[in-house]
Structure 1
Amino acid sequence: MHEPLESIRIVELGHVIAGPLSATLLSDFGAEVIKIEAPGRTDMMRDLGPKAEDGVGAWWKTLGRNKKILSLNWKSPEGRDVLRRIVETADVLIENFRSGVLERAGIGPKQLHGWNPDLVILRVSGYGQDGPMREKPAFGRAAEAMSGLAHLTGFPDGPPMHPGFPAADSTTGLMGALGIMFALFAREKGLARGQVIDLAVFEALLRLMDYPVPALTGAKLSPRRNGLRQPMDFAPGGMFRTSDGVWLTVSAGSAETARRLLRAVGGDALADDPRFATLGQMSRHMAEVFDAINDFVTVRTLQEVEEEFARHDAVAARVLSVEEITTNEQILHRRDIVSVEDEKTQVVGPIPHLSTTPGQVRWLGRPPGADTSEILRDLGFEDAEIAALREAGHVGLAGEEG
């Protein structure tokens, strides 16, 4: 079975999450990814978080999946020559160092495009390659703060909060993969050769947050965090707990679905109340709506709530734990949790689902230097040359690092 990106070669100079995730997402659909780590200094994701039973980092297993691993000191003249030969054969290069690092190392975009004018370069940094904050260091949480996400998350009388996953880094990985595909398509259409994608980590979340900016500038409304309710409360919904201790999220996205929800929790009297005739009117009385839903849900079991909501075609979704995610029948039916041969660790599979050229997980994250010899041989290096590079410390081979 052919995969849509099987002819694309990606060089990954990234580390941690944001840049590497872009490569991982594309590797799921067939792109050949060569991840470069310096000998003796591997990606910290190998060690961050819990270890699987075999001692390998669980996070590394999924973030490093489908990638070939090259141990190379690309800052030495000999290592730089190896990098040049790889770049000459590549379609994409991904890096997420602080702004200016590549230039100081002598391999900025001008040099890279001198080696390969058709190379697409994704540059991920905290605040972008230009502007007054370009040299300021940043991590994902700083980006979540700058994007406005933290400000809108939490209770009105409590502190801003971060979500329970690395939202900024993850959305940057997704946006980076999208940018790469845009650039490759432009190259294929003859609109550009290789171009540079300049992506700041805060920008991906800022783009997905989206509506607070026009709400403020156009409608003069400033969203505020609102606890179990939506920041702007423009439609009924929220988070509620049943009498048997199960958390549900309830939502309605139109006047019609809102009336079905109101009918489920309060009967015709509530659904036909003129205060709730439109979403606009409803938004002015959202506290009463929230209280009505809360009063209904909290005195009923999960089964009772689900049965009543089903009768009215209203929406309530159970909040799943990770344990429940891995056993949920819909998720399993969609094959969204996958395994690979000889691995006990399961991971989330390729998404989205393509009907003819679906993605696949071929292997999980490999050890340091796992593919160094193979990659160098493919570039034309003889075994004696590889041995000499290894002896001088310019490359590392499989089994030499923990």
Structure 2
Amino acid sequence: MTGPLNQLRIVELGHVIAGPLSAALLSDFGADVIKIESPSRTDMMRDLGPKAEDGVGVWWKTLGRNKKILSLNWKSAEGRDILRKLVEGADVLVENFRPGVLERGGVGPNTLHEWNPDLIILRVSGYGQDGPMRDVPAFGRAAEAMSGLAHLTGFTDGPPMHPGFPAADSTTGLMGALGIMLALFAREKGSARGQVVDLAVFESLLRLMDYPVPALTGANHSPRRNGLRQPMDFAPGGMFRTSDGVWLTVSAGSAETAQRLLRAVGGDALADDPRFSTLAEMSSHMTVVFDAINDFVTQRTLSEVEAEFARHDAVASRVLNVEDITTNEQICHRGDIVSVDGEKTKVIGPIPHLSATPGALRWLGRPPGADSRSILHDLGFTKERITALCEAGHVSVKDGEGTP
């Protein structure tokens, strides 16, 4: 089967995580992504983090998945001409430079839309393309701080904390893919041609965090970090450790599920206590609830807790580490961890699962310049012209490159 985006062509000028992840997510579903790297400076994700046995960075293997790699100095006159040819045949261009970089290189949105009026341009930056913080440098952690995520993570009497993965960059990659698809839908429906998707990294988390702002402005409630419990603690739950050392997260999102949870940990006496008849009343006595759950879990083994929770249809989920994830029965059944022939490294496969046009992992991140020759050939460049471009430093190719 072919992916639903198999006729979509994306030119990626992105680097690191946010922009490249947007393109990678769409590549999983068939989009033809041409990633452009400078001949003198490749994407830092090739070298960041641990390396696989073949010496290639494992983070690059997944962020570069399904992408063709063109090594091109797009800032030179010759390189700009090649970029123009690519843009003229593309649907989308992705970039996540600091604001103004494209314009200074002579390829800002006005120019790109002269080349291709139907082009969708995803522009990812720390704080957006306008506003008083437009030119302030930013990374994902700065966005996590600005969005309020760090403020709500950690213990009440401890410092704010960042999550254990690049939350801002990753959510921006997801939001960028959504923005591209929205713009493509508008183009298909005739309500817009090419347009710019202006996405600030902090905004992606801000939108997904969401509830603190209406909590403050609508209910005059300011959420605070709360350790192993929810910042607003409006429903019973938290993180608890069994007597045999296994961490569990316990949660209940409605009055009915909360009653089942209370009955599991405290019997009828706790579940029928009038203080806990509704979630609203329960929220005023959440410390009592938390302590009851904690006492129950910490005095029992994992199997004992799971058996009692199952008997009451209550929810307690084991906290998995990476080793657990790679062997988990449900994750394996869903086919969520995949690889390609001849490659030891495994990655998370295309998500979501589509019944008729599922995504596919075609290859992992390829070497610098791996597809330069074939891409230029498809653009009409002769072998001699490609050689001349390489000798002049505008392009580089990998010897012995193959077509993926």
Give TM-score scaled by structure 2 length: 0.99
1:316 equivalent to 2:316? Answer yes
Provide Cα deviations, 1:207-256, integer angstroms capped at 9, x if missing partner. Answer: 00000000000000000000000000000000000000000000000000
> Contact 1:11 / 1:34 at 8 angstroms: preserved in 2?
yes
The residue aligned with 1:243 is: 243
State how 1:137-216 maps to structure 2 within 5 Å: 137-216=137-216
Letter in 1 for 2:364: L
1:367 equivalent to 2:367? Answer yes
| 2:327 alignment partner, SS class | coil
Per-residue deviation at 1:339?
1.3
| 2:107 alignment partner, SS class | coil
Provide Cα deviations, 1:321-355, integer angstroms capped at 9, x if missing partner. Answer: 00000000000000000010100000000000000
Q: Structure 1: state its 5+ residue gaps.
A: none
Moved over 3 A (4+): none
The residue aligned with 2:86 is: 86
Question: Hey, what's the Cα distance between the residues in 1 that align with 2:399 and 2:131?
Answer: 43
1:131 equivalent to 2:117? Answer no
Give TM-score scaled by structure 1 length: 0.99
Provide Cα deviations, 1:177-228, integer angstroms capped at 9, x if missing partner. Answer: 0000000010001110000000000000000000000000000000000000
Letter in 2 for 1:367: P
The residue aligned with 2:11 is: 11
Provide Cα deviations, 1:242-289, integer angstroms capped at 9, x if missing partner. Answer: 000000000000000000000000000000000000000000000000
State how 1:3-402 maps to structure 2 within 5 Å: 3-399=3-399
Letter in 2 for 1:39: P
Provide Cα deviations, 1:56-96, integer angstroms capped at 9, x if missing partner. Answer: 00000000000000000000000000000000000000000
Question: Hey, what's the Cα distance between the residues in 2 that align with 1:175 and 1:385?
Answer: 39
Letter in 2 for 1:365: G
Kindly tell me the number of residue pairs found equivalent between the two proteins.
401
| 2:221 alignment partner, SS class | coil
> Contact 1:10 / 1:32 at 8 angstroms: preserved in 2?
yes
> Contact 1:223 / 1:231 at 8 angstroms: preserved in 2?
yes
Question: Hey, what's the Cα distance between the residues in 2 that align with 1:122 and 1:154?
Answer: 33
Provide Cα deviations, 1:147-174, integer angstroms capped at 9, x if missing partner. Answer: 0000000000000000000000000000
Question: Hey, what's the Cα distance between the residues in 1 that align with 2:102 and 2:75?
Answer: 10
> Contact 1:29 / 1:350 at 8 angstroms: preserved in 2?
yes
Provide Cα deviations, 1:292-333, integer angstroms capped at 9, x if missing partner. Answer: 000000010000000000000000000000000000000000
Letter in 2 for 1:271: A
Question: Hey, what's the Cα distance between the residues in 2 that align with 1:215 and 1:375?
Answer: 52
Question: Hey, what's the Cα distance between the residues in 1 that align with 2:188 and 2:388?
Answer: 39
Question: Hey, what's the Cα distance between the residues in 2 that align with 1:367 and 1:40?
Answer: 14
Question: Hey, what's the Cα distance between the residues in 2 that align with 1:396 and 1:2?
Answer: 31
Q: Structure 2: state its 5+ residue gaps.
A: none
RMSD, aligned CA? 0.9
> Contact 1:143 / 1:168 at 8 angstroms: preserved in 2?
yes
Per-residue deviation at 1:40?
1.9
Letter in 2 for 1:238: G
Question: Hey, what's the Cα distance between the residues in 2 that align with 1:3 and 1:97?
Answer: 29
> Contact 1:367 / 1:399 at 8 angstroms: preserved in 2?
no
Letter in 1 for 2:82: V
Per-residue deviation at 1:2?
1.8
> Contact 1:368 / 1:399 at 8 angstroms: preserved in 2?
no
Letter in 1 for 2:133: M
Letter in 1 for 2:22: S
Question: Hey, what's the Cα distance between the residues in 2 that align with 1:344 and 1:306?
Answer: 35
Letter in 2 for 1:302: L
Question: Hey, what's the Cα distance between the residues in 1 that align with 2:371 and 2:103?
Answer: 27
Letter in 1 for 2:242: T
Identity of aligned residues (%): 83
Per-residue deviation at 1:386?
0.3
Question: Hey, what's the Cα distance between the residues in 1 that align with 2:134 and 2:40?
Answer: 29
| 1:326 alignment partner, SS class | helix
| 2:86 alignment partner, SS class | helix
Letter in 2 for 1:150: A
Per-residue deviation at 1:399?
4.2
Per-residue deviation at 1:400?
10
